[in-house]
Amino acid sequence: MTTATAVLRRPFAPIGVFVGFALEVLSHSGHPLRNWRELSDQAWFVTRVSLLPACAITVPFGAVLALQIGSLFGQLGARSFTGAVSVIGIVQQAAPIATVIIVAGAAGTAVAADLGSRKIREELDAMEVLGISPIERLVVPRVLAMALVACLLNAITTAVGVVGGFAFNVGVQGGSAGAYLQSFSALAQLPDLYVGEVKALVFGLLAGIVASHQGVNAKGGPQGVGDAVNQSVVVSFVLLFIANAILTAVYYQVVPPRGL
């Protein structure tokens, strides 16, 4: 019975370790200004490696949404609603997801590689011997930087995506600029923007915690660091889409859609 219980618990053990690590990181996040220099350096690094790719990937997202929705609504005789559906889709879904995909892929991999290299060189163990918490000194600034920058980048990529969708709908599909803007102003509401920012914040926190967890727990030399980097990307993307589904479902339960 004991052996069977151990076998059943084994797949869930990594989840418990990750949750414990996340709670420890959040418990040390109450005083971000203690390491403000490290936080600012990491925030600048995340911004530098993520800004242009995030904007570049959001434009195709907005264009595809506008083209697909405009084509479908044109067949249904409701082309005037293209602007509202496209913009809401970009604000709520496309911009936060595209932003954090780039943040997790560009900055998250760098965080996992950096912390993993420090782990196999036993720098983290040396810090603990000296009474310095690696979580507070190294992990928290990186996690907070990814979360804060994700929020800021989401605002930028949202604007870029909306402009890109507008340009493709009006320029390529021959839609009306006035109808596009009018439908958007009629159906969109301020909470749509809020939920996009909340998603970016949550996604950034998840990506930062996953990358740091994989780096801190890297084992086996350079090969272990490579495995930690790969795992951080895969786990971040899985958690991102799960969290997106949960937050979207909760949002539509709390905030009813706006009628005409």
Average pLDDT, the chain: 81
Residue 260 has pLDDT above 80, yes or no: no
Q: What is the DSSP letter of 257?
A: P
User: What confidence tens digit (pLDDT) does each residue in 118-127 have?
Assistant: 888 888 888 8
Residue 1: pLDDT band with limits 50, 70, 90: very low
CA distances to 73, 74, 184, 197, 219 from 91, in Å: 19, 22, 11, 9, 40
Return all residues near 39 (Cβ < 8 A) that are at least 6 apart: 32, 33, 141, 144, 145
152/213 Cα distance (integer angstroms) = 24
Q: CA angle, corner 222, sides to 142 and 129, nearest 5?
A: 60
166/49 Cα distance (integer angstroms) = 27
> What average pLDDT does this structure show over 48-77?
76
Closest listed residue to residue 164, CA positions, set 69, 62, 26: 62
CA distances to 31, 49, 84, 193, 235 from 93, in Å: 31, 22, 14, 10, 19
Q: Which helix (H) or strand (E) holds 46?
A: helix 36-76
Residue 56: pLDDT band with limits 50, 70, 90: confident
Least confident of 41-45, 83-87, 126-130, 146-150: 83-87
Residue 13: what pLDDT? 64
CA distances to 5, 21, 33, 170, 185 from 84, in Å: 53, 41, 41, 14, 7
Residue 210 has pLDDT above 90, yes or no: yes
Residue 32: what pLDDT? 61
Tell me the whole-structure pTM to 2 decimals: 0.85
User: What confidence tens digit (pLDDT) does each residue in 65-104 have?
Assistant: 777 776 776 666 666 666 667 777 788 888 888 888 889 8
